[in-house]
Chain A
Amino acid sequence: MNEFVKLFELIISASLVNNFVFTWFLGLCIFFGVSKKMETALGMSVTFTAVMMISAAISWVVYKFIMVPLNIEFLMIIVFIGIVAGLVQGSDTIMRKVAPALYYKLGIYLALISTNCIILAVPLMNVGNKYTFIESLAFAFGSGVGFSLALIIMASIREKLELADVPKHFKGLPMAFIVTGMIALAFTGFAGLIKH
């Protein structure tokens, strides 16, 4: 029972309390890039969460069973980047053949994901916090959900913002940054949700 509570806590913590976009301010390039339209935001969310969980799992296995016994933990940043890039390239190739329909809907986001900071931060945090395999997966899932939430909130606001009477110099990206700041401020309200 206690185990499940911990997992649930991890998911809530990664998605709301320590939301990667609004608390850590990671992955902002994609966040601003694809949050212009609801449709692309949704596509990105699904792809992102899936890639995140797979890469977290592989990174955990490689770290635990290869890097720790060999005493080469310091290589983890390079190795994790390599794993993510390889994984993204591989799934790109395979998806194109196996599920072309899915590829044309979601595959276009794959290349963007490989350069995302969150996808690197999650395996690093898994290592830093000494999470078990299941916990790592839960953490990855939570951060994926958190990123999706951020994208969807932002997309719904920006679609409305298009029609709003924004002062000329704030139009577009500057306004998006201001709105992000305000949402981040609102997200600090989740801070007391979990007692450490």
Chain B
Amino acid sequence: MFEVHRIVTDLLGLFQFADISQFLLPKVGVGAEIEAKEAIAMAPLIKYTLIFLAGMSTVFGFVLAFAAKKFAVKIDPRVEQVNDVLAHAHCGACGYAGCEQYAEAVVKDPNVSPSLCIPAGEKAALKVAEITGKKAELKEKELARLMCQGGLDKSQKKYAYEGVLDCRAAVLAGGGDKSCIYGCLGYGTCERVCPFDAIKMGSDSLPIIDKDKCTACRKCEAACPKKVIEVLPAAKAVLVACHSRDKGADVRKFCKVGCIACGMCVKVCPFDAPKIDKNLARIDLDKCRVCGLCVTKCPTKAIEDFIEPRPKALVLDNCIGCQICAKACPVDAITGENKKKHSVDQQKCIGCGICAIKCPVQAIDGTFNAEQIRIAKQKAKKEKEAAAA
């Protein structure tokens, strides 16, 4: 024991020239300084230890039990049930601080809608509605969409940016390094902000949004300094993927895939959905039937079609040969004589689905919207029958 002490003091002596022994031998110690005693009477020691510990635990037990009883907070069991159903991403898309707060609000406040948890989706909304006895208003599925296609090789840069690799930092340096001030900067802020791992940066430094993982929580929309991500209904899959309000000539200079506001889409659209406003075409989502005609005509390929590949039209046997589809087809892919089954030229067909919309007997199948139209027509038929009865 003495040896050890000597070695320690010798070692400390080495440090003394630097006068840092204060740190190595602090005066207060966690071990505390209990004086050693000559002799210990074992019997009373064990006795007092047992009595003291038993006494203390009893006191604490009673006090805690009393507190638990007296200060009990009644928690509605439904809050917990609702909480279990929610997505637990704590994304704040519902407008509350966290999932628990929303669960409490939806149980207590009759005005709070049960379908606010977007990440958990439709099933959770139905379950929450069931638990709380409310009616779920089903929301259309939405997705985050990137409104820019100007990747590294398709767009120009005005200077070489070498700062912090984050869009929110890059935008401070003269609005970012892209020549187009509306374009995606590509430093991956959305990727880092996404709580569902749905956004990955692609090789051309544009984010790729995974449509299966995206829950439309709008975190990326809020974080993007260029506001180039928009959360839109998933069914509306044809969009002008450009935000540039520059004049056409400038757009052409900065980017190969920007909207130059030529008005081609306005002319070609059979449903009158695109509008040109301040040098930018925007598609009115209420009017758009997702036919994709504008996609084929756009000279700069600024309109993006998210249905890829588009399935082509087929004519079923119940065709009555009315020739309505042949007239409606924008690319003249349908041919056929009156009162005979028509045929579709698979080479010419672009899968726009207009024929499926126009056909009076649902004899066209295979297009992306055929299923929807059939369901809608059946529903209308049932309603009509119900009304007649």
Which residues in A have some Cβ–Cβ distance to B below 8 Å?
18, 23, 62, 66-67, 70-76, 78-79, 82, 86, 89-90, 93-94, 96-98, 100, 121, 124-125, 127-129, 163-165, 188, 191, 196
> In the bound complex, what is the Cα–Cα distance between A165 and B161 (angstroms)?
14
> In the bound complex, what is the Cα–Cα distance between A165 and B169 (angstroms)?
11
> In the bound complex, what is the Cα–Cα distance between A108 and B166 (angstroms)?
32
Inter-subunit contact B53/A128 (CB<8 Å)? no
Inter-subunit contact B31/A72 (CB<8 Å)? no
Given contacts A18-B28, A90-B64, A128-B28, 13 further A-B contacts (CB under 8 A): A18-B26, A66-B52, A70-B48, A71-B44, A75-B49, A79-B53, A82-B56, A86-B64, A90-B63, A94-B67, A96-B73, A97-B71, A191-B23
Write the B22-52 contact mask toward A (1 if CB under 8 angstroms, else 0): 1100111111111000000000110011001
Inter-subunit contact A128/B48 (CB<8 Å)? no
Inter-subunit contact A71/B48 (CB<8 Å)? yes
- How close is B274's CB to chain A, nearest CB, in angstroms? 39
Which 8 pairs show the lowest CB-CB distances between chains A and B?
Answer: A128-B32, A97-B71, A86-B60, A70-B48, A93-B67, A127-B32, A125-B28, A93-B71
Write the B155-171 contact mask toward A (1 if CB under 8 angstroms, else 0): 00000000011101100
> In the bound complex, what is the Cα–Cα distance between A164 and B165 (angstroms)?
9
Q: Which of A82, A96, A128 contacts B60 (CB 8 A)?
A: A82
Q: Which of B57, B164, B165 contacts A82 (CB 8 A)?
A: B57
B4 at the interface (CB under 8 A from A): no
Write the B1-35 contact mask toward A (1 if CB under 8 angstroms, else 0): 00000000000000000000011001111111110
With A72-B49, A128-B29, A128-B33 in contact, is A96–B71 under 8 Å at CB? yes
Cβ contacts under 8 Å, A191 to chain B = 22-23
Inter-subunit contact B57/A72 (CB<8 Å)? no
B54 at the interface (CB under 8 A from A): no
Which residues in B have some Cβ–Cβ distance to A below 8 Å?
22-23, 26-34, 44-45, 48-49, 52-53, 56-57, 60, 63-64, 67-68, 71-73, 164-166, 168-169
Inter-subunit contact B165/A165 (CB<8 Å)? yes
- How close is A185's CB to chain B, nearest CB, in angstroms? 12
Most chain A CB atoms below 10 A, which of B44, B56, B164: B56
Inter-subunit contact A71/B52 (CB<8 Å)? no
> In the bound complex, what is the Cα–Cα distance between A98 and B73 (angstroms)?
10
> In the bound complex, what is the Cα–Cα distance between A94 and B52 (angstroms)?
26
> In the bound complex, what is the Cα–Cα distance between A72 and B52 (angstroms)?
9
Nearest to A92 among chain B residues (CB) is B67
With A97-B71, A98-B71 in contact, is A165–B164 under 8 Å at CB? yes
With A86-B64, A121-B30, A129-B28 in contact, is A70–B52 under 8 Å at CB? yes
With A74-B34, A128-B32 in contact, is A86–B73 under 8 Å at CB? no
Inter-subunit contact B166/A163 (CB<8 Å)? yes
**24 A-B contact pairs sorted by A residue (CB < 8 Å):** A70-B48, A72-B48, A72-B52, A73-B34, A74-B34, A75-B49, A76-B32, A82-B56, A82-B60, A86-B63, A89-B64, A97-B72, A98-B71, A100-B73, A124-B31, A124-B32, A125-B30, A128-B31, A128-B33, A129-B28, A164-B164, A165-B164, A188-B23, A196-B22
Cβ contacts under 8 Å, B166 to chain A = 163
- How close is A95's CB to chain B, nearest CB, in angstroms? 9
> In the bound complex, what is the Cα–Cα distance between A23 and B27 (angstroms)?
13
- How close is A86's CB to chain B, nearest CB, in angstroms? 4
Q: Which of B53, B67, B164 contacts A90 (CB 8 A)?
A: B67
- How close is A164's CB to chain B, nearest CB, in angstroms? 7
Nearest to B34 among chain A residues (CB) is A73
Cβ contacts under 8 Å, A124 to chain B = 30-32
Cβ contacts under 8 Å, A100 to chain B = 73
Inter-subunit contact B48/A79 (CB<8 Å)? no
- How close is A162's CB to chain B, nearest CB, in angstroms? 9
- How close is B29's CB to chain A, nearest CB, in angstroms? 6
Most chain B CB atoms below 10 A, which of A121, A127, A128, A188: A128
- How close is A36's CB to chain B, nearest CB, in angstroms? 14
